[in-house]
Amino acid sequence: MNFNDIFKSSFLETMTSVSILDMAIALLLAFGLGLFIFLVYKKTFNGVMYSSSFGVTLIALTMITTVVILAVTSNVVLSLGMVGALSIVRFRTAIKEPLDIAFLFWAIGVGIVLAAGMIPLAVIGSVIIGVILLVFVNKKSHTHPYIVVVRCENHDAETQVNKFLSEKTERCVVKSKSAQKGEIELNMEIRLKDDNTDFINNIADMDGVHSAVLVSYNGDYMG
């Protein structure tokens, strides 16, 4: 038996297409789980600019993946053609947040599992993943790093600010310092002992301090 004999055999003739009821159930479940993924994404978003189109993309991606896998599992010839077609697709949209990659893979994975008929795995797995993301991504802590930007007149004012921050914060590290005649600017990373940020007002009231700014730092940092 050669390669042509395989496709001339009764294998393809015995393959049954997906029924309308199965398609409707799969797409409804894909829409529901895609909507759940979208809601989790909306609740856990911590970026600068929220994109509603990305959330809608998660719903569409779940349903599209379900349709594609249903077609692939119902026809072996179509599955071979689909592999060739998808192999030439290139996506060049930049992913701005690392967590967005997890949501994309989540949506694709749910679509594949649903189309494979593993409905309990898709539903229970999505619920567990959603709960974990909601707990860990939205977890707030007073040890979150902040950047303090202080502009002062001279070395004495700088020493006073450093001493005050060392006493009021859990950790204080100078990240950068620029000096010019009559002004010194300090950029310091701090970790708070509690949620109280009133100390920044006290720094602004110190003699020789021109201004004091407290900024939440969401970038990558070493613990």
What is the pLDDT at residue 9? 47
Location of structure tokens 């249903």:
70
Q: What ranges do the domains of the chain cover?
A: 3-137, 145-216
The CA distance from 89 to 98, in Å, is 22
31-72 per-position pLDDT tens digit: 999 999 999 998 888 766 777 788 888 999 999 989 888 877
CATH 3.10.129.10 fits 145-216, yes or no: no
Tokens of 171: 């950790």
Q: How far apart, in Å, do the first and last CA atoms of the chain sit?
A: 63
Phi-psi bin for 117: left (phi > 0), alpha (psi -120 to 50), beta? Answer: left
User: CA triplet 192, 195, 196: central angle to 5 degrees?
Assistant: 90
| Cβ atoms 222, 214 nearer than 8 A | no
Q: Which residue did the predictor score with more confidence, 56 or 86?
A: 56
Reply yes or no on whether the pLDDT at 134 is more than 60. yes
Q: Cα dist. 205→79, 179, 198, 214 in Å?
A: 71, 21, 11, 14
Strand 183-192 to strand 169-180: parallel, antiparallel, or no bridges (unpaired)? Answer: antiparallel
pTM: 0.62
Which tens digits make up the pLDDT trace of 158-187?
A: 888 888 888 888 888 888 888 888 888 988
Q: Which tokens go with 83?
A: 């592999």
Contact 184, 178 (CB under 8 A): yes
Tokens of 169: 């914060």
Distance CA 40, CA 212 (A): 36
Distance separating alpha carbons of residues 85 and 87, to the nearest angstrom: 5
Crossing angle of the two packed helices 76-86 and 52-74, in degrees rounded to 10: 140
